[in-house]
Amino acid sequence: IDLFPDTSFATAKCKKKSKLVSGGFDSPDYDPSGTEEETFPFVSRRSGRRGWSVGGFNVSTSRSLDIVAYAYCKKR
């Protein structure tokens, strides 16, 4: 059984001469109340030295999945 048929991941990376300070995500379809068909994020974390990754799955049967990762960087 495929429990998460529409799963997607996104990774944002800092440039080589900068370091990751923090990260996050955005999803225009995210509804934390859970009352609508939505994109549900299940992971948002550091990925390696300079990246931030986010993963989500789409519980909607009628809309596509949109999820964006953000990396907040600082010059070294």
Predicted TM-score (pTM) of the model is 0.77
How far apart CA 50 and CA 13 sit, in angstroms, is 5
What pLDDT is attached to residue 29? 64
How far apart CA 10 and CA 44 sit, in angstroms, is 10
Alpha-carbon torsion (31, 34, 39, 44), positive or negative? positive
Q: Report residue 59 CA to chain centroid gap.
A: 15
DSSP one-letter string for 2-20: -S-TTEEEEEEE--TTEEE
Looking at this protein, which amino acid is placed at residue 54? Answer: V
Q: What is the pLDDT of residues 14-66, one digit of tens each?
A: 999 999 999 999 877 666 666 566 677 889 999 999 999 998 887 776 767 67
